[in-house]
Amino acid sequence: MPTNFTVVPVEDTPISNPDYDEAINKEENKEETCTAAGPNSGEETPRETSSLISTDHDDSIYGKNMALYEDEMDSTPMVSSLLNKLANYTNITQGALEHEEAESEDGIQRVTVNGPQMGTFIGVFLPCMQNILGVILFLRLTWIVGTAGIMEALAIVFMCCSCTMLTAISMSAIATNGVVPAGGSYYMISRALGPEFGGAVGLCVYLGTTFAGSMYILGTMEIFLTYIMPNAAVFEAKSREPTGMQNNMRIYGTFCLVIMTLVVFVGVKYVNKMALVFLSCVMLSIMAIYAGVIQSAIKPPNSQHRVCLLGNRTLQNSRFDKCEKTELINNVTTPTQLWKLFCKGGIENATCDEYFTHNNLTEIQAVRGLLSGVISDNMWGHYGQYRDIVSPERASDKSDESHYVLHDVTTFFTLLVGIYFPSVTGIMAGSNRSGDLRDPQRSIPTGTIMAIATTSIIYLSCVVLFGACIEGVVLRDKYGKSVNGTLAVATLAWPSSWVIVIGSFFSCCGAGLQSLTGAPRILQAIARDGIMPFLQVFGHSKSNGEPTWALLLTAAICEIGILIGSLDHVAPILSMFFLMCYLFVNLACAVQTLLRTPNWRPRFKFYHWSLSFLGMSLSLSLMFVSSWYYAFVVILFSGCIYKYIEYRGAEKEWGDGIRGLSLNAAQYALIKLEEAPPHTKNWRPQLLVLLKLDSDLGVKHPCLLSFTSQLKAGKGLTIVCSVLEGTYMAREADAKLSEKNIKAAMAKEKTKGFCHVVVSSNQRDGFSHLIQSAGLGGMKHNSVLMAWPANWKQAESSLSWKNFIETIRETTAAHQALLVAKNIDKFPTNQDRLDEGTIDVWWIVHDGGLLMLLPFLLRQHKVWRRCKMRIFTVAQMDDNSIQMKKDLQMFLYHLRLDAKVEVVEMHAGDISAFTYEKTLVMEQRSQMLKQMQLSKTEREREAQLIHDRNTKSHATLNDKATPTSDRVHMTWTKEKLISERNRHREAHMTVRDIFNMKPDQTNVRRMHTAVKLNEVVVKKSKGAKLVLLNMPGPPKNKGGDENYMEFLEVLTEGLERVLLVRGSSREVITIYS
């Protein structure tokens, strides 16, 4: 049976103890004081916190129930606290509601931040409808239908609507992949594709929105000056000089822009309050169109709008009242106003236009009705050239007469695509209000796709209905001159054409205000991200949050669009910017889908990478179809912004898809590289740079990094490493600081590569591990670059030169090349420019051709570009120096290297007394250092022996009960026995023996070679800017390591800059292509 236990806590405290009570009171007072001071009081640095992570917890709850995790509570939150923060998370809006001011009862103005409260219909569907349906629908769609025909117009509308629908699907997937803060499309693209693409596309969205404002203002002025108050024009619009109308648009458009800018500057709340009115105008206008179509089908069309044709030429009926040549007034034939336009004089002796004389006048209905059969005439296109007369037939005549309706531009299919596409933009109006939505992840996909579907149906139906109801010449009459200056779509409206005119006017005004409201906030969001330093000033705002500077820049750019003076010329410009934006939205979704990153979990499931790719392809195609030269300009602009952000922008890590794509590409490339070693033609030095740090953990030799950048020029792999002695737990902070200092030095010296600092028990093991394991897969180093250990003779410890020699041995064993720069601090920096000089190569032994490849690589850099290359080789007594020189010149010719060749003869002379004495001094010094080291070791051993004896005596007294003890048996190998004998022999060597010793003959011969070769090198290359020399290998017997250092010192003595090179025994340069 289970047993139930009840645990009752019992406090082990005295019932009444004055001292205990006083102690408790002091402790409570202390806690109250700390609480009042705050958690960050004093000199302590406050901890970094997140908006979703709270480290506050109640000890009374967590202290008893979760005591096992009490150490983690200071840095990680409890699940209940995290869920509470997530449940109460709200978006701080960047939209218009954030900046509205509310005046309280006491008269003090306060900024009120309204919480997200808009649903799908109000927050997404209606704003998208208002932005999509606008100026093109009322001013240009009838002209597009009449010019392209119903079939081609349907193709244009279908292509553009398909592009926006596919983009909306991709955008819905991105928008539902996590919480979307305020910022809309720019935020989504930048976080999905990274700061470089985000900044470029963000500026495209901003410029597109700004030029959309220009287009809406020009549309507003066109409606005002053409259909509402034609008499308000300042300049007269002549038929041969269309600039008169453009000048009127520029003047009135600038005036309208100033008024709209002031409205936005005073307060966005007025724009928001008028938004519903503007949207109502759009909806009423569309309803009037459909009502007119229904009326034309039920009731025969009236004679209010009629078109007068002279033969097959369409006349402007604003200059005459009757479509007749003559009329009877009191039984007298009298010429009409139309007669006077073409004839001079009376009826009897009139001189008339020949075409007027031979052709009759015909008057037709502008709106023939839905069932009239006019749809067959408007089924196919009627494209025309500039100054052609609008006529019912496809072939038309040219004329300069002002009383005909003329084509004001040469029309073709791609032109119509560019003009129409702005009518389907505005699909991101809902996502731009993401901060004001109650549930953006549900509202944005539903509202946007519903709005696109609705507007697509409206556009497709309008194309068919316009072609089925309105006469073709009226459709092709862009400005309604054939119907007495009436808007072409307004001829179809019911109950009055003024419904369309007034509705379209206010619709364009509202869309212009929305553009001037939204564009500055996009620019402000880009500026506040800090990815483009030159835009920082536009991130500032007024006290109420209004982006004042951004609004001024937006108005200035908008004025540029207005000065163009033509809606048809501005429309393709903003089409390019929006198409570029849509292209990258689709690209972002396709990349995220194909990468399958763990964080890609959209709630919107109806997407696929193929749809995104199709939308991206369609966007790119529409760019070049609309205007190929504008497409190139926008692509070049985006590319420049991308490179600028990459070069100067702030470093941002947003977990974007491009970074994931780079990781996948890098993984694939590394796997491919590992399949086979690189060919000789592809070989280049992949450097592992071994740096030494000073006491402050700074780079000891910055010139080594300069030389690295000069040798590499950013090509290939560069790994800059250093080693700290100790344990990682104890020196973790030092390792991070060292890595930071090395990265700063690399940036200063323009060294492109990777940085790595390891902590090891000693530098010897650290460098060994780096040589073995640095790099990844096929991207591993093949060469090691290090500095010569300066002052190795004066160093108290021999570790510096011993580590140096062991590094040489390990690089040789790993089949890696080794470059040792001597006098590295005298090497030129990247800011230096060497005058004409030479880079001298002393080719003693062939170790793969690295000696000849290095000068070629150095001369690619601007520091060494003026230097010439010279190659010296050494001939012995039995060599034919003349033939050697010819062979070497031919070899360099096949290698395509431009260098001067010289063969130096070295005769086998007797060993000089200087060489003998120098070798003797070297060996005596080496022996004395060993004696000093042995003496120090013997003293340490004697102290250890005394300590062991004392320890043993104490152990004997304490362990008398133990009669026996364990015996340790030591096994002596042959090598250990010989080394022990040598150690005893060296230990008993006296100072007299050292000074009476004779040098080893092998060392004498080596010293002789070093001295003789040094004499020749100094004689020939004393003034060279850099000397490259074969580095002899270290001795196999480690006992001669110090002598080896002396040989290298003698070999390079008297030279300012020396690079000792030891190849990897593989060919690195070839004569073959």
| pLDDT higher than 60, residue 720 | yes
| pLDDT higher than 80, residue 62 | no
Site of tokens 């041995």: 809
| CA quadruple 151, 152, 157, 160: dihedral sign | positive
CA angle 371/462/376 to nearest 5° reads: 40
SS3 call for 194: helix
Instruction: List, for residues 240-298, the tens digit of each pLDDT value.
Output: 456 778 889 999 999 999 999 998 888 777 777 787 888 888 889 999 999 999 988 88
Distance between CA 208 and CA 577 in Å, rounded? 5
Higher pLDDT, 300 or 442: 442
pLDDT at 787: 92
Distance between CA 758 and CA 731 in Å, rounded? 10
| pLDDT higher than 70, residue 158 | yes
Q: Which two tokens stand for residue 428?
A: 């991101």
Higher pLDDT, 896 or 928: 896
The mean-pLDDT minimum among 468-482, 608-622, 700-714 falls in 700-714
CA 558 to chain centre: 27
Q: 746 and 754 in contact (C-beta within 8 Å)?
A: no
Please give the C-alpha separations between residue 152 and each of 146, 149, 431, 463, 709, in angstroms, as whole numbers: 10, 6, 32, 10, 59
CA 163 to chain centre: 25
Instruction: List, for residues 670-685, the tens digit of each pLDDT value.
Output: 777 776 677 776 677 8
* pLDDT-above-90 percentage for the chain: 28
| pLDDT higher than 50, residue 432 | yes
pLDDT class for 921, splitting at 50, 70, 90? low
Pairing relationship of beta strands 361-365 and 306-310 according to DSSP bridges: antiparallel
> Which residue from 879, 874, 880 is spatially nearest to 905, judged by alpha carbons?
874
Distance between CA 166 and CA 169 in Å, rounded? 5
| pLDDT higher than 60, residue 88 | no
CA 1009 to chain centre: 57
| pLDDT higher than 70, residue 1073 | no
* Mean of pLDDT values over 919-944: 55
| pLDDT higher than 90, residue 210 | yes
Distance between CA 124 and CA 31 in Å, rounded? 53
Amino acid code (one letter) for 1067? E
Higher pLDDT, 811 or 40: 811
| pLDDT higher than 60, residue 508 | yes
- How would DSSP label each residue in 463-488? HHHHHHHB-HHHHH-TT-GGGTS--G
| pLDDT higher than 90, residue 463 | yes
183-192, 731-740, 1026-1035 — most confident range: 731-740
| pLDDT higher than 90, residue 215 | yes
- How would DSSP label each residue in 522-579? HHHHHHHHTSSGGGGGGG---TTS--HHHHHHHHHHHHHHHHH--HHHHHHHHHHHHH
Q: Which two tokens stand for residue 35?
A: 């609480």
pLDDT at 110: 43
| CA quadruple 247, 252, 255, 260: dihedral sign | negative
Instruction: List, for residues 593-641, the tens digit of each pLDDT value.
Output: 888 877 788 889 899 999 999 999 999 999 999 989 999 999 999 999 8
* Mean of pLDDT values over 306-310: 90
pLDDT at 1005: 73
Q: Where are the beta strands (DSSP E) in 261-398?
A: 306-310, 313-314, 326-329, 332-335, 343-344, 351-352, 361-365
Q: 516 and 261 in contact (C-beta within 8 Å)?
A: yes
Higher pLDDT, 84 or 619: 619
Strands in 754-760's sheet, in edge-to-edge order, are 754-760, 718-725, 687-690, 783-787, 817-822, 1058-1062, 1026-1030, 838-843, 868-875, 900-905
Distance in Å from the first CA to the final CA of the chain: 89
Site of tokens 């003890």: 965
| pLDDT higher than 50, residue 572 | yes
| pLDDT higher than 60, residue 943 | no
pLDDT at 875: 80
Distance between CA 509 and CA 503 in Å, rounded? 10
